[in-house]
Amino acid sequence: MQFISKNHQEYEPCLKDMEDTVAKIKSGEVGDQVWLLEHPPLYTAGTSANDRDLLNPQFPVYGTGRGGEYTYHGPGQRVAYVMVDLKKHMNTPDIKKYIWMLEEWIIRTLCEFEVKGERREGRVGIWVAKDDGTEAKIAAIGVRIRHWVTFHGISINVKPELSHFDGIVPCGIADHGVTSLHDLGKKISMQELDESLQKNFDYAYLA
């Protein structure tokens, strides 16, 4: 697995580069890659997005072929685009197993910063219980798979402007909010998170 830091990336050119890379992975020209980056403030609509969940389009809105609904990307949020040929790592390629792998990757990464990330039945992403008794999403997952090569991926809130999420109903879930590592008192840097993401990525999760 090759981890590549792409720093701040405009969305549309990045999406095109990702499409090109997926084709090259499929043809065997390049190997598996994870891109670590940040986007400018924007909203993306997955294949299940409902128009009524776009409350205030204060930033550009992009349709995308990934699964899921509306989500926000912006500075202070680490986006990890994961491009893996599942046929090389799974006896029987399994999308649900791949999603579980991404969840486990996030959970183990957060654990290094003493944050307990958890799955919730019927809710996409990774959630944390806050001190005030509420639950909030700290990481989102949205993937697409073409010829069993994955793309799109995950996002983890490090220190984004949380009010920017108010323009949408994140992932169609109105009953719970969003949080970040800094909001939870974990003042870590992007570099520290990236090091943990690289450390905790493990193909064994796919087995």
Kindly provide the residue ranges of all beta strands, DSSP E only, lying in the chain, ordered along the sequence: 2-8, 33-38, 42-45, 61-63, 70-73, 77-83, 118-120, 123-129, 135-146, 149-157, 177-178
- Quote the tokens at residue 31: 């190997």
Indicate if 14 belongs to the active site. no
- Length of the chain, in residues: 207
Cα separations in angstroms, 112 against 68, 155, 181, 200: 27, 17, 12, 10
- Looking at 110, 171, 181, 193, which residue is catalytic? 171
Under a CB-based contact definition with an 8 Å cutoff, are residues 70 and 169 in contact?
Answer: yes
A 10 A CB-CB count for 129 gives 11
Active site residues: 171
